[in-house]
Amino acid sequence: MSEHANLLRRHRAVMPSWLALNYESPIEIVGGKGARVTDAEGHGYLDYFTGILTNMIGYDVPEVREAVERQIATGVVHTSTAYLLRGQVDLAEKIARLSGIPDAKVFFTNSGTEANETALLLAAYARRSDQVLAMRQSYHGRSFGAVGVTGNRAWTNISYSPLNVHFLHGADRRLPQFAGMSDGAYVDACAEDLRHVLATATGGDVAALIAEPVQGVGGFTMAPDGLFAAYKEILDEYGILFISDEVQTGWGRTGQGFWGIDNHGVQPDMMTFAKGLGNGFAVGGVVARGELMDALHAVGLSTFGGNPISMAAANATLDYVLDHDLQANAARQGETIIGGLKGAARRFPVVREVRGKGLMFAVELADPGTGEPSPSLAAALMEAARERGLLVGKGGLYGNVVRMAPPLTLTDAEAAEGLGILIASLEAVNEAAAS
């Protein structure tokens, strides 16, 4: 038995069966530089999924590595929030300023799941209500409360929740009742549905709406620009808070705004963040209006949230994003790749849709005969891309979407290379489906 096969055997013996691994023959990544990684068997890949959107500016970035090494050299890798943490204060000041939220304060966590739990706690406490609105096809994490606001059955293990949740339309315009609608008509229909939900399914004292501007696990489905502004107008009538889940859409990823919600022309009451901020180091958090953040009466702390190592990495990462205007690069490279995929997709009956914003894009696959979602074709596209040297991810309500989020540092050459591999892979999958 090879060492690789033995590692896979050991993994399956001690790790949960529901801990999914990509590819028929899962890989172990042992090296990385920039947008490229190497597996344990010596194969090199261009990485268009970056640890689920987490290695946001690539692998082995000197500025991040050196910042972490400087902190480690002090001998202090942990103290907890029971002590002043200079790096935490520095980062909180930057995020509060960038958020645009008036009088903003920041609380750091270890993950997006924990960040969303914190935001839901703040909202429930402020409104004295367990009622929450969320979006169909959404994903907000794997904890008890986060699963409760996740609108995707594939990621929901239990039917009960600490929250009383009602799900809204907004990223499901393929449903027959919305077919053929313009963006404006769809927004109007969703807004009227929200009013109807509030009038029929709730007690009136709803705590918050939590929503992803672009649904990550949902396969990068998204509401048309302006929908959340229409929702916010109604929410404000009731005093309902709005939480924007920016775990995957923050830091300029979409190219069109530093935060995903920017396209909707609305200022949320809270935003949650994680993933790319630490460029691989564990960090998440909530930025919210000071009055909301300060309202909790119980004593609180975070043992590991905002620890000195993560803060060193996150400060260096955010500075790098801003200093190199990576939002503009995301817009430019995304236009190249998304435009190229849309142009090529016309030749491939297996492609139902190409969608995305900036360096956050996806290809949805469907059976060319029936038009039904095809998880098997999505899996085949992943394998075809890997064979050609490109790593991608998957998602979608039905598991039929290949989603990609390259590092924001992607070069012109790497964008062209990845696009070429994707088109060649689609050709192969389309040809196999037709035979």
CATH number of the domain within which 272 lies: 3.40.640.10
Residue 11: inside a domain = no
Amino acid in the structure at residue 69: E
State the Cα–Cα distance between residues 302 and 306, nearest whole angstrom.
8
Torsion of CA 350, 353, 359, 360, to 10 degrees: -100
Amino acid in the structure at residue 374: S
What is the domain extent for residue 248? 65-323
**pLDDT for the residue 330:** 98
Res. 435: pLDDT tops 90: no
Residue 188: inside a domain = yes
Residue 356: inside a domain = no
Query: What average pLDDT does this structure show over 173-200?
Result: 95
> What's the domain count of the chain?
1
Least confident of 143-147, 222-226, 335-339, 397-401: 143-147
Cβ distance 96 to 106 under 8 Å?
yes
**pLDDT for the residue 75:** 97
**pLDDT for the residue 238:** 96
Residue 400: inside a domain = no
Cβ distance 231 to 261 under 8 Å?
no
Res. 157: pLDDT tops 90: no
**pLDDT for the residue 158:** 84
Residue 58: inside a domain = no
**pLDDT for the residue 250:** 98
Number of CB atoms found within 10 A of residue 28's CB: 12
Query: What average pLDDT does this structure show over 135-150?
Result: 94
Residue 428: inside a domain = no
**pLDDT for the residue 293:** 97
* Residue 152 DSSP class: -
State the Cα–Cα distance between residues 359 and 66, nearest whole angstrom.
26
pLDDT in tens, 319-377: 999 999 999 999 999 999 999 999 999 999 999 999 999 999 999 999 999 999 999 99
Residue 353: inside a domain = no
Mean pLDDT of the chain: 96
Residue 132: inside a domain = yes
Distance of CA 38 to the CA centre of its chain: 24
Q: Comparing C-alpha atoms, which of 9, 17, 29, 15 is closest to residue 386?
A: 29
Joined together, the tokens standing for residue 272 give: 């949650």
